């Protein structure tokens, strides 16, 4: 059955060179709706580089990224987002000086229909759009238990809540694929467990595809349906968690053999 | 033809002055990633120092250009002072933008301070003759002594500076700090001392540039620094800011363009043309002619 | 409930502004033609109006968008020359003959709008290439564009040579066109006030909408903004253009308030106080990201400048201090460095004054102070 479906996100022979150095090459992945994939690999394996290519931050030197079968070559980051790929960052990138709710509202901007004239004259359209935005933002915040912090500056949140806010912001872009770059980095076990729950909730609720980069092997093994392992920019394994756990090449890469 | 060669020579002379000043911008930028807007005003400080010390130097029986030594000392002090008093505290706390605004503030401060000092005042001052007048002819082209001396001295200084940064311990420390401050600290380099040294050298170059400028145009005023400085930092950016050979290249490009615009189009358009070149270069190659594009790490 | 509060806020603001305006018109009616009101207060208000617009419009780019633009006065110059030239053309074409009547008022408004539009178009043309660069490079390139604009105006036959900067031709331009005398300044003060209030309102509306949110996000983190679906470059260009529009309007008011135009007034730096650097100083001191701050800073700095230039107490000071006061920029430069070191976001930071919120703000400030005091006490008792 899966053969007939078009993958939400697909890459074909994706690769990038930095000044002659092949950072990632021949990266192929297919992610279907509602799927949760893991991308793992040792430090410097090129995981974040893959994310950067999947979101238009870096332009790949070869290959294509397809969303629902539509190639996204040469598009800019905001166009990737508009097409339906959203991400979080390894080192959290919130709008620190803005309030929590504003952080989420920013991500609605591209879908807000009023124009400069509406804003200047404060037309009905403006008020309606702003009201809807506030409601939707509060709804998203409540999924992550952030509604009590809505008016605080984002930078004042503790680390774990900042991570959640970043995911909430990514969800607000109304995406089809969510890329999470080490969401559990720097979290304690309780926070990680909470996060897991969140990820599961949003997957069930929004029916989206998720690609997850993670260092925390236990987290990846627990939640991901399939896992892809890369090392030195090359895919060395792709399969079910248990297959990966027993794959000699993966073990070798992680132990530095 | 002789007009053409004459124009080239004027361009080279202007270019060598710009290059000297641009070196100051580039060295400071290389080490603390700040466009030191006040650098242009160091030239003005150097210029006035020369004006005030020339009579003294002549009284001692030395040639007029020896006044540049005093100017070098004063400029170096002013440069180091600016770094310690204004830039360092801001760098510790603020963002890039606040550092840039501080630099603009320091420039305003020096310019207006000069005007407020009664001995200087807002009116232009005329300097003594620095080098012997006259020149020699090759064919129909006149070479003024001043021009030749300017070009030669600038060239020598640039080579010495380049050797300094490549071969000496201090020069290597400077390059280290500009690459990575925390790594430099770990290697036992005193970052603050190195930055101060950079300011001192850059400002000293401004003093030499002041001498070169005054040898040709013996008239200085308090906003001279802004006028010269803007063109010099255009040179630095054009060549690729933070790169020493880039500053030299940029200086000559700007000098030649200015000279050609002045003699073939109109002197009142020279500034506009210089900026137009800058804009075109920056749009084609955002980090300057010799610069490398470095993207932000995500 | 929240919406009622917002609506009430708008109502209160509108009423207060309208009442203040009417009160001011009545005062003008009473004291209008006479003495200090005519010769000091009214010209001062004209100057304050364009300084406020300049500072507030630059704040959109510098404070909200977080991009240092050093050529803001270039757009003002375009506005000023556009307004002056249009009024000159109308006068020569015989559209109006004296400074009165509806036609004349319409022409003034026409000049102001045209000035804003042409400046905005220039802003768009400058912004598209310039805003591809960031930080230091953007600062230099905008400085360059500012200089080029001034340079081009100087070289236009109908601007530089034939006129607007030269005394003799200026006389013919300003006979009945723009460039109000002290009497006309009183008569048409309402225009300056209305234009300023409208423009400020538009700017407030801009920053308190999706546009304001988007550009503040860009200031905080460009990469995160684009990853949130914001088209960074188009929002940058839009803001730059919008800001240039108001700078152009400020230029038109400047053309109204001055009897001659000279491009040197619009340079990056000059001996006077009106230049791009001064505008940056106003914005930074007032607060990057606070329109309130820009307004307050513009008024205060105008007042300080005025006092330094005209105050009788200045002459009584010892000569050394008096000498320094001749160069107010010297003082501002020092103040600027001190503010940046100790209050990097400017005096007002991102605070915006609001009539409705005022009691709340005061309460909050008190609570904060009390908390700080308690903390200090706590620390002292432990220490």
pLDDT tens, position by position, A130-164: 999 999 999 999 988 899 999 999 999 998 889 99
Query: Cα(A147)–Cα(B66) distance, rounded to whole angstroms?
Result: 72
The predicted model gives B107-123 an average pLDDT of 85
User: What per-residue confidence (pLDDT) applies to B73?
Assistant: 96
**Contact residues on chain A for B298, CB-CB shorter than 8 A:** 48, 52, 57, 89
Q: Which of C132, C209, C238 to mutate to test the interface with A (most CBs of A within 10 A)?
A: C209
**Residue B100 forms contact with C (CB below 8 Å):** yes
Assigned domain for C143 exists: yes
CA distance B174 to B202: 12
Can you tell me the mean pLDDT for C271-300? Answer: 87
- Collect all residues of chain B within an 8 Å Cβ-Cβ radius of residue C152: 272
Res A4: pLDDT: 58
B133 vs C131 pLDDT, higher one: C131
Q: Which of C216, C226, C242 sits opposite A95 (nearest CB)?
A: C216
Residues C201, C85 share a domain: yes
Confidence of residue C121 (pLDDT cuts 50, 70, 90): very high
Give yes or no: residues C105 and C213 share one domain: yes
pLDDT band at B181 (very low <50, low <70, confident <90, very high): confident
Distance from CA of A109 to the nearest CA of B (A): 23
> Would you place residue C171 in the very low, low, confident or very high pLDDT band (cuts 50, 70, 90)?
very low
The answer to whether residues C97 and C240 belong to one domain is: yes
Tokens of C212: 């304001």
Q: Taking phi first (over 0 means left), then psi (-120 to 50 degrees means alpha), and beta for anything else, what does residue B261 get?
A: alpha
- C19 in contact with A at a CB cutoff of 8 Å? no
pLDDT at position C271, please?
A: 56
Q: Average pLDDT for residues A76-88, to the nearest whole number?
A: 93
**Which helix (DSSP H) or strand (DSSP E) does residue B212 occupy?**
helix B191-216
Task: Return the percentage of chain C with pLDDT > 90, whole number.
Answer: 35
Question: Is C229's Cβ below 8 Å from some Cβ in A?
Answer: yes
Q: Is C189 a member of any domain?
A: yes
Q: Is residue B82 within a helix (H) or strand (E), and if so which, with residue range?
A: helix B67-82
**Whole-number pLDDT of residue B217:** 85
Distance from CA of A228 to the nearest CA of C (A): 24
Instruction: Compute the residue count for chain A.
Output: 257
Phi first, then psi, for residue B202 (nearest 5°) are -60, -45
Shortest distance between the Cα of C7 and any Cα of chain A, in A, equals 10
> Does residue A153 lie in a domain region?
no
Measured CB to CB, residues of chain A less than 8 Å from chain C are 55, 57, 76-78, 81-82, 86-87, 89, 93-98, 102-103, 105-112, 114, 116, 119-122, 126-127, 129-131, 169-170, 172-173
Query: Is the CB of B105 less than 8 angstroms away from the CB of C330?
Result: no
Mean pLDDT across B109-137:
81
pLDDT tier at A2, thresholds 50, 70, 90: very low
What band does C166 get if pLDDT is binned at 50, 70 and 90?
very low
Range with top average pLDDT, A19-23, A186-190, C112-116: C112-116
Residues from chain A that touch C224, judged by Cβ atoms under 8 A, are 89, 93-95
C112 or C358: whose pLDDT is higher?
C112
Nearest-CB residue to A106 (from C10, C206, C230): C230
- Rounded to the nearest angstrom, the minimum Cα separation between C364 and chain A is 14
Q: Least CB-CB distance to C202: which of A86, A89, A120? A: A120
Predicted confidence at residue C3, as pLDDT, reads: 60
Percent of chain A residues past pLDDT 70, beyond the cut? 98
Q: How far is CA C346 from the centre of its chain?
A: 16
Distance from C111 to chain A by nearest Cα, in Å? 22
pLDDT in tens, C197-219: 999 999 999 999 999 999 999 99
**Higher pLDDT pick, B35 / A137:** A137
Query: Minimal Cα–Cα distance from A180 to chain C, Å?
Result: 12
Mind listing the pLDDT tens digit for each residue in B230-266?
888 889 988 888 888 899 999 999 999 999 998 888 8
When mean pLDDT is compared across A75-79, A136-140, A236-240, B130-134, the lowest value belongs to: B130-134
- Rg over CA atoms, chain B: 19
Task: Assign A174 a pLDDT band (cuts: 50, 70, 90).
Answer: confident
What is the reported pTM? Answer: 0.89
Domains of chain B, by residue range, sit at 12-224
Question: For the residues C96-115, what does the mean pLDDT come to?
Answer: 86
What Å distances lie between residue A10 and A16, A26, A39, B176, CA to CA?
16, 13, 14, 44
Residue A75 lies in a domain: yes
* Residues in a beta bridge with A38: A212, A227
Q: Using a CB-CB distance cutoff of 8 angstroms, which residues of chain A are in contact with residue C230?
A: 78, 106, 109-110
User: How much is the average pLDDT of B128-153?
Assistant: 81
**Band of pLDDT at residue C273, cut at 50, 70 and 90:** low
Cα gap C72→C245, rounded to integer Å: 11
Segment among A194-198, B186-190, B194-198 with least mean pLDDT = A194-198
Of the listed ranges A28-42, B134-148, C231-245, the one predicted with least confidence: B134-148
Nearest Cβ partner of C154 from B89, B97, B268? B268
Interface test with C, best of A53, A79, A93 (most C CBs within 10 A): A93
Residue C370 located in a structural domain: no
DSSP, res B117: S
Q: Are residues C21 and C79 in the same domain?
A: no
Maximum average pLDDT range among B271-280, B289-298, C349-358: B271-280
What is the SS3 assignment for B169? Answer: helix
Q: How many domains does chain A divide into? A: 1
Question: Would A105 be classed as within a structural domain?
Answer: no
CB-CB: which of C223, C270, C281 is closest to B296? C223
Domain encompassing residue C6: 1-31
Q: Which domain holds residue A19?
A: 9-97+163-255
pLDDT in tens, B73-91: 999 999 999 999 999 988 8
Q: What's the whole-number mean pLDDT along residues A203-221?
A: 84
Does a structural domain hold residue A227?
Answer: yes
Average pLDDT (A156-173) is 92
pLDDT digits (tens, 9 = 90+) for C241-264: 999 999 999 999 998 888 777 777
The answer, for C224 touching chain A at a CB cutoff of 8 Å, is yes
**Which of B:147-206 have CB within 8 Å of C?**
none
Number of domains in chain C: 2
Residues of chain B neighbouring C269 (CB-CB closer than 8 A)? 107-108, 111, 223, 226
- Indicate whether C315 pLDDT > 80: no
Shared domain check, C211 and C86: yes
Residue C177 pLDDT class (50, 70, 90 cuts) = low
Mutate which: B95, B97, B295, B298, vs A, most A CBs within 10 A: B298
In a mutagenesis test of the C interface, which of A51, A52, A76, A107 is the best target, namely the one with the most C β-carbons within 10 Å? A107
Report pLDDT digits (tens) over C5-62. 677 778 888 888 888 888 888 887 777 667 778 888 888 999 999 999 999 999 999 9
The residue of chain B nearest to residue C147, with distances taken between CA atoms, is B272
Of C10, C226, C238, the CB nearest to A78: C226
Using pLDDT thresholds of 50, 70 and 90, give the confidence band for residue B48.
very high
Q: Using a pLDDT cut of 70, give the percent of chain C over it.
A: 90
Q: Is C187 among the domain residues?
A: yes
Residue B25 has pLDDT above 60, yes or no: yes
pLDDT above 50: residue B152 = yes
C369 within a domain of the structure (yes/no): no
Whether pLDDT at B122 is above 70: yes
- Mean local confidence (pLDDT), C80-106: 81
Nearest chain A CA: its distance from B92 CA (Å): 20
Stretch among A7-16, A191-200, C129-138, C370-379 having the lowest mean pLDDT:
C370-379
C64 and C157, same domain (yes or no): yes
pLDDT average, residue stretch C289-301: 93
Mean pLDDT of the B273-280 span: 86
The predicted pLDDT at position C1 comes to 41
Read off the CATH number of the domain in which A88 is found: 3.40.50.300
Yes or no, beta carbons of C139 and B95 under 8 Å apart:
no
Contacts of A89 in chain B (CB under 8 A): 298
Neighbours of chain B (3+ CB pairs under 8 A): A, C
């Amino acid at each position: 059955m899966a053969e007939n479906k078009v993958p939400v996100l697909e890459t074909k022979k994706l690769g990038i060179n930095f000044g002659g150095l092949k950072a990632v090459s021949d990266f192929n992945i297919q992610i279907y709706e509602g799927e949760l994939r893991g991308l793992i690999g040792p430090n410097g394996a090129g995981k974040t580089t893959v994310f950067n290519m999947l979101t238009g931050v870096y332009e790949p030197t070869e290959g294509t990224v397809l969303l629902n079968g539509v190639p996204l070559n040469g598009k800019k980051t905001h166009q990737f987002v508009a097409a339906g790929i959203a991400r979080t960052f390894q080192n959290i990138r919130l709008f620190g000086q803005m309030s929590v709710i504003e952080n989420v509202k920013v991500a609605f901007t591209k879908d807000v229909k009023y124009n400069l004239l509406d804003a200047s004259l404060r037309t009905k359209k403006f008020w309606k759009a702003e009201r809807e935005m506030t409601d939707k933002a509060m709804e998203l915040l409540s999924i992550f238990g952030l509604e009590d912090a809505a008016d605080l500056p984002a930078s004042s949140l503790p680390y774990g809540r900042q991570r959640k806010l970043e995911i909430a912001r990514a969800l607000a872009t109304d995406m089809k694929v969510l890329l999470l770059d080490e969401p559990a980095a720097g979290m304690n076990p309780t926070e990680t467990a909470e996060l897991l729950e969140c990820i599961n909730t949003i997957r069930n609720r929004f029916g989206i595809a998720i690609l997850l980069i993670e260092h925390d092997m236990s987290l990846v093994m627990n939640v991901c349906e399939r896992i892809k392992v890369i090392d030195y920019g090359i895919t060395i394994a792709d399969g079910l968690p248990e297959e990966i756990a027993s794959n000699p090449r993966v073990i070798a890469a992680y132990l530095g053999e | 033809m002789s007009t053409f060669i004459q124009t080239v020579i004027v361009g080279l002379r202007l270019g060598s002055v710009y290059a000297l000043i641009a070196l100051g911008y580039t060295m400071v930028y290389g080490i603390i990633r700040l466009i030191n807007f006040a650098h242009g005003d160091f030239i003005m400080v150097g210029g006035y120092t020369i004006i005030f010390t020339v009579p003294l130097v002549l009284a001692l029986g030395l040639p007029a250009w020896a006044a540049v030594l005093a100017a070098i000392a004063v400029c170096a002090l002013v440069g180091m002072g600016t770094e310690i008093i204004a830039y360092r505290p801001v760098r510790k706390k603020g963002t890039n933008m606040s550092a840039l605004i501080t630099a603009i503030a320091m420039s305003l401060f020096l310019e207006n301070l000069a005007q407020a000092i009664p001995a200087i005042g807002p009116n232009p001052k005329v300097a003594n003759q620095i080098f012997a007048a006259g020149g020699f002819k090759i064919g129909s082209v006149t070479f003024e002594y001043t021009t030749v001396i300017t070009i030669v001295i600038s060239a020598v200084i640039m080579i010495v500076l380049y050797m300094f940064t490549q071969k000496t311990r201090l020069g290597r420390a400077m390059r280290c700090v500009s690459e990575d401050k925390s790594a430099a600290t770990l290697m036992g380099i005193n970052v603050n001392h190195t930055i101060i040294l950079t300011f001192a050298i850059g400002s000293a170059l401004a003093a030499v540039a002041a001498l070169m400028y005054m040898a040709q145009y013996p008239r200085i005023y308090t906003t001279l620094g802004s006028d010269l400085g803007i063109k010099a930092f255009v040179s630095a950016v054009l060549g690729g800011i933070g790169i020493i050979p880039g500053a030299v290249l940029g200086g000559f490009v700007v000098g030649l363009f200015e000279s050609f615009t002045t003699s073939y189009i109109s002197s009142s358009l020279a500034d506009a043309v210089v900026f137009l070149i800058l804009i075109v270069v920056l749009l084609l190659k955002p980090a300057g002619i010799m610069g490398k594009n470095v993207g932000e790490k995500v | 409930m929240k919406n009622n509060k917002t609506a009430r806020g708008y109502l209160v603001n509108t009423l207060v502004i309208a009442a203040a305006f009417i009160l001011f018109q009545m005062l003008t009616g009473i004291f209008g033609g006479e003495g200090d009101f005519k010769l000091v207060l009214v010209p001062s208000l004209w100057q304050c109006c364009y300084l406020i617009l300049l500072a507030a419009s630059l704040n959109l780019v510098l404070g909200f968008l977080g991009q240092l633009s050093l050529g803001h006065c270039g757009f003002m110059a375009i506005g000023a020359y556009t307004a002056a030239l249009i009024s000159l053309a109308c006068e020569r074409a015989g559209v109006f003959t004296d400074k009165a009547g509806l036609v004349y008022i319409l022409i003034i408004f026409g000049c102001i709008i045209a000035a804003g539009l042409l400046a905005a178009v220039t802003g768009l043309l400058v912004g598209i290439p310039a805003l591809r660069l960031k930080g230091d490079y953007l600062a230099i390139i905008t400085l360059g564009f500012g200089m080029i604009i001034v340079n081009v105006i100087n070289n236009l036959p109908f601007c530089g040579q034939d006129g607007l900067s030269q005394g003799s031709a200026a006389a013919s331009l300003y006979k009945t066109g723009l460039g109000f005398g002290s009497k006309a300044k009183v008569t048409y003060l309402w225009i300056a006030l209305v234009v300023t209030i409208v423009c400020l309102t538009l700017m407030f509306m801009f920053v308190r909408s999706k546009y304001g949110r988007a550009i503040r996000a860009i200031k905080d983190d460009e990469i995160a903004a684009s990853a949130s679906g914001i088209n960074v470059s188009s929002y940058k260009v839009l803001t730059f253009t919008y800001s240039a529009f108001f700078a152009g309007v400020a230029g038109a008011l400047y053309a109204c308030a001055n009897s001659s135009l000279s491009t040197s007034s619009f340079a990056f730096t000059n001996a006077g106080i009106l230049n791009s650097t001064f505008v940056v100083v106003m914005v930074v001191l007032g607060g990057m990201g606070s329109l309130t701050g820009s307004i307050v800073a513009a008024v205060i700095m105008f007042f300080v400048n005025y006092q330094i230039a005209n105050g009788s107490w200045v002459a009584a000071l010892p000569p050394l201090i008096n000498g320094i006061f001749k160069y107010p920029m010297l003082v501002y430069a020092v103040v600027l460095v001190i503010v940046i070191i100790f209050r990097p976001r400017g005096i007002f930071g991102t605070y915006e004054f609001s009539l409705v919120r005022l009691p709340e703000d005061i309460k909050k400030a008190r609570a904060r102070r009390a908390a700080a005091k308690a903390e200090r006490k706590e620390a002292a008792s432990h220490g």
